[in-house]
Amino acid sequence: MNREIYMDYAATTYMKPEVIKDMKTYMDEYFGNASSIYHISRKTRMAIDISRKRVADAINSNIDEIYFTSGGSESDNWALKGIAFANKDKGKHIITTAIEHHAVINTCKYLEKLGFEITYLPVNKYGMVDLHNLKKAVRKDTILVSVMFANNEIGTIEPVKKIGDFCRHNKIIFHTDAVQAVGNIPIDVKTMNIDLLSMSSHKFYGPKGVGALYIRKGIRIDSLIHGGSQERGRRAGTYNTPGIVGIGKAISIAVKNLEVQKERLTKLRDMFIKELLEIQDTSLNGSPGKERLPGNINVTFKGIEAETLLIMLDSRGIYVSSGSACSAGALEPSHVLIAIGLTESMAKSSIRFTIGSGTTYEEIAYVLEVVKECVNKLRNNK
């Protein structure tokens, strides 16, 4: 039997057929430049307006607070650099966490080179930020707090509303990288007091290379891409009409199915975790409680090299991820797993399974069977 099972939904998702269908219309029939005034361009402009409304509705923002970008990385870069540059007269201190995505961490590293000072908040063993640590880290010159909504490796959902309330009360701008959260868990930028929020379409069954940044009205932010007057003059470049149509369609489907999908995946996830923990010397990374993304399963198989297991699973048609990142040919342990207190060797023995819309009970049962077999094989070979 040669089957393929995809369990890496946190890396990217397949595209929903309805999304592809809608996008296609704006590749052939209505290909016009949205900034032109003739008929086909009126159609593209209307489609962009509809998409902007769909994205705004999904997070309860206003339509003129949504800016389309090329994805999560651009949104994170814009939020951090744009706020830093525009508010440097007020201060040069930024607070973030030790477990952010590289799009945030490496942007912070760059800002440090320019003279900004960054505090990387620690997290507890479940990957949660403690509000007391945030309060202690705040200085007179703190201009921005950036804490991710949910972590891409261990699935931990951060106390975003509490952080938002605190920042609003103290007049500090609050950005959240919500790339893993949008479409999976409910988000309301108004009640959560969020000032900026990053999202990426290919994490919720839309196309790659398109995302959005929500910027609350009145927030002072510099532009990073200068040119034409698109996106209210704040982000230049000819509208990526098919991509924008795609993100709008994808987010509307995701939000409509959110509760049902959340419940279904949570059940599958908990069953999966319970069975995996039956394997000897296996431990769960991230929160065992409800502060966990519905589709995230991250475990450590003590004594096993995750890369080896990953290749074995790949040869059986099962696609999963290890937290390690290959930098300059050397395998670096995941900064997230190190931050929650794992040793380097434990971190390098960890595997992330992420499930989603296409995942079935039957797939999980098969993966469990193969994982058990592979883990046993690797342990007995020693």
Stretch binding ligand PLP (CB under 6 A), from 78-86, 127-135, 177-185, 295-303: 177-185
The reply to whether 167 belongs to the active site is no
Residue nearest to ligand PLP (CB): 72
If DSSP codes are grouped into helix, strand and coil, which group holds residue 185?
A: coil
Q: Strand locations in the chain, DSSP E?
A: 5-6, 66-69, 93-97, 117-121, 142-146, 173-177, 196-200, 211-215, 282-284, 296-301, 318-319, 321-322, 325-327, 330-332, 350-354
72 near ligand PLP, judged by CB under 6 A: yes
54 near ligand PLP, judged by CB under 6 A: no
Cβ contacts of residue 104 below 8 Å, gap of 6+? 76, 80, 96, 146, 148, 177
Q: Is residue 344 within 8 Å of residue 338, measured between CB atoms?
A: yes
Q: How far apart are CA 368 and CA 373, in angstroms?
A: 9
Return the residue of 200, 285, 287, 359 that touches ligand PLP, per CB under 6 A: 200
Q: Are strands 350-354 and 296-301 parallel, antiparallel or unpaired?
A: antiparallel
Q: Is 152 annotated as a binding residue?
A: yes
Question: Closer to ligand PLP at the Cβ: 47 or 103?
Answer: 103
Place of tokens 């960890």: 350
Number of residues that bind ligand PLP (CB under 6 A): 15
Q: Is 201 annotated as a binding residue?
A: yes
Q: What are phi and psi of 235, to 5 degrees?
A: -150, 100
Return the residue of 61, 142, 180, 357 that touches ligand PLP, per CB under 6 A: 180
Q: Is 61 annotated as a binding residue?
A: no
103 near ligand PLP, judged by CB under 6 A: yes
Stretch binding ligand PLP (CB under 6 A), from 72-80, 108-116, 248-256, 366-374: 72-80
Q: How far apart are CA 35 and CA 45, in angstroms?
A: 8
Q: Is 227 annotated as a binding residue?
A: no
Q: In the bound complex, what is the minimum distance in angstroms from residue 250's beta carbon to ligand PLP?
A: 13
Q: Is 73 annotated as a binding residue?
A: yes
Q: In the bound complex, what is the minimum distance in angstroms from residue 152's beta carbon to ligand PLP?
A: 4
SS (H, E, C) 133-162: HHHHHCCCCEEEEECCCECCCCCEECCHHH
Question: Closer to ligand PLP at the Cβ: 102 or 220?
Answer: 102
Stretch binding ligand PLP (CB under 6 A), from 123-131, 133-141, 172-180, 366-374: 172-180
Catalytic annotation, residues: 326
Q: Output the known binding site for pyridoxal 5'-phosphate.
A: 72-73, 152, 180, 200-202, 238
Positions in the binding site for ligand PLP (CB under 6 A):
71-73, 76, 101, 103, 148, 152, 177, 179-180, 200, 202-203, 211
